[in-house]
């Protein structure tokens, strides 16, 4: 049967690559819902090509342009973030790819889960912010959350046919980002232009900056905790500059499984959309002879303290990950707009965690309020 896909964030890097996968497999997938924040020109192009049943542009000032361009096509045009959850919860959607960046992806993902839609999760912040709540809702509604991040897809594939009780440890691999070899002095002078030059992956600006600070690995560690039911001490990070081994799982008997492949996000996207099947792919194949050496090293926590912050937040629990995520989003935005330096992002996050209200057992309203409070505090530290 054809899967009808709703894409939250179709104009971003993951959304665009997901549409490439859908275009390659027209008998298996259709794009039924496409959403964007403000990139209405790309959204219009996508809608005219894929003919979804509806599109959403959350920036209401862009609605008229989208409405005019799609007039007479039969495509419903909606605007505002409040309708995101509704459009992906309709009977015309089987699976929702959550590819929005940041906290904004939480509420529409919750709506989709409550509607019983399968989730292909590329928005790691959904589980970072409210992993306990989201995983509980998924269980209650018999919804499977399929990871799209290459690291979590790798772990998911390594665990196929295995018992979680047999897992001793997982390693999430990191490329090391563009500043892996930078000295502390050179890091202090790094600009956002430098940070956006990722050595192996083509990603959006926010995720690329998170890669440069290694915050993305901290976020991925927290996400892995909830996705795979692991304890913090079972999760570690290893730097692997070639980005060929996407993650590893160590079992109680000492065996290790790893998933390998060339760095191409279309592979984990296709795997999540087609699961439990594997569809043919024309992507470039990995060759061992072209990679005579695969290297691994420990992350430098002195030069990249954001990873330490995230791992400590994971251990302490409560709403701290929500606070950290909000502060990080503010800090990254400030860095991208030359309002703080590279090390300034860490300072903003640390100060926000010190001042924000800690809630040990948080609910949805608590997470929403914590996000608001943390953003306000973080802005005051910029």
Q: What is the pLDDT of residues 343-352, one digit of tens each?
A: 999 999 999 9
Residue 257 main-chain phi, psi, to 5 deg: -110, 140
Which pLDDT band holds residue 201 (cuts at 50, 70, 90)?
A: low
Task: Give DSSP secondary structure letters for 260-308.
Answer: E--S-THHHHHHHHHTTS-----SPPP-GGG-S----B---TTT-HHHH
Instruction: List every span in the chain annotated with CATH 3.40.50.720.
Output: 3-147
Band of residue 147 on the pLDDT scale cut at 50, 70, 90: very high
Which is higher by pLDDT, 203 or 58? 58
pLDDT for residue 67 = 96
In angstroms, the CA 171 to CA 49 distance is 40
- CATH 3.40.50.720 corresponds to the domain 3-147: yes
Strand order through the sheet with 118-121? 76-79, 54-57, 29-36, 3-8, 95-98, 118-121, 145-147
Residue 74 contacts residue 97 (beta carbons within 8 Å): no
Q: Measured between alpha carbons, how far is residue 95 from residues 52, 87, 110, 127, 345 in Å?
A: 14, 12, 13, 18, 35
Residues of the chain with CATH 1.10.1740.10: 317-382
47-90 pLDDT, tens per residue?
Answer: 999 999 999 999 999 999 999 999 999 999 999 999 999 999 99
Q: For the domain bounded by 317-382, which CATH number is listed?
A: 1.10.1740.10
pTM > 0.75: yes or no: yes
Q: Residue 184, class by beta-carbon neighbours within 10 Å (0-12 exposed, 13-18 middle, 19+ buried)?
A: exposed
Task: Give every CB contact of residue 337 below 8 A, 6+ residues apart in sequence.
Answer: none
Strand partners, 247: 172, 259
Number of neighbours of residue 165 by Cβ within 10 angstroms:
7
């Amino acid at each position: 049967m054809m899967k009808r896909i709703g894409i939250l964030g179709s104009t971003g890097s993951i959304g665009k690559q997901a549409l490439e996968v859908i275009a390659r497999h027209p008998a298996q997938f259709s794009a039924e819902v496409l959403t964007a924040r403000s990139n209405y020109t790309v959204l219009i192009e996508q809608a005219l090509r894929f003919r979804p049943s509806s599109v959403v542009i959350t920036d209401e000032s862009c609605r008229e342009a989208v409405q005019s361009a799609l007039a007479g096509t039969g495509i419903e045009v909606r605007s505002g973030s409040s309708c995101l959850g509704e459009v992906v919860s309709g009977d015309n959607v089987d699976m929702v790819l959550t590819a929005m960046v940041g906290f904004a992806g939480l509420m529409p993902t919750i709506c989709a889960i409550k509607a019983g839609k399968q989730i292909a999760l590329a928005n790691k912040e959904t589980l970072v912010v409210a992993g306990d709540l989201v995983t509980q809702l998924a269980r209650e509604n018999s919804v499977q959350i399929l990871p799209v991040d290459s690291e979590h897809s790798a772990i998911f594939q390594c665990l196929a046919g295995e018992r979680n009780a047999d897992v001793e440890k997982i390693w999430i691999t990191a490329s090391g980002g563009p500043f892996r070899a930078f000295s502390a002095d050179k890091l202090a002078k790094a600009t956002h232009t430098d940070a956006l030059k990722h050595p192996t992956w083509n990603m959006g600006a926010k995720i690329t900056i998170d890669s440069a600070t290694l915050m993305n690995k901290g976020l991925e560690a927290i996400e892995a905790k909830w996705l795979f039911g692991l304890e913090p001490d079972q999760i570690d990070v290893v730097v692997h500059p070639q980005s060929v081994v996407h993650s590893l799982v160590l079992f109680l008997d000492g065996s290790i499984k790893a998933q390998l492949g060339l760095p191409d996000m279309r592979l984990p996207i296709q795997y999540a959309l087609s699961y439990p099947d594997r569809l043919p792919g024309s992507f470039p194949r990995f060759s061992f002879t072209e990679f005579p050496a695969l290297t691994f090293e420990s992350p430098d926590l002195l030069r990249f303290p954001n990873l330490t912050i995230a791992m400590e937040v994971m251990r302490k629990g409560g709403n701290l990950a929500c606070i950290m995520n909000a502060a990080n989003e503010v800090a990254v935005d400030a860095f991208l707009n030359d309002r703080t330096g590279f090390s300034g992002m860490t300072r903003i996050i640390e100060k926000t965690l010190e001042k924000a209200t800690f809630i040990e057992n948080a609910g949805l309203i608590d997470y929403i309020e914590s996000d608001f409070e943390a953003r306000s505090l973080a802005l005051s530290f910029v």
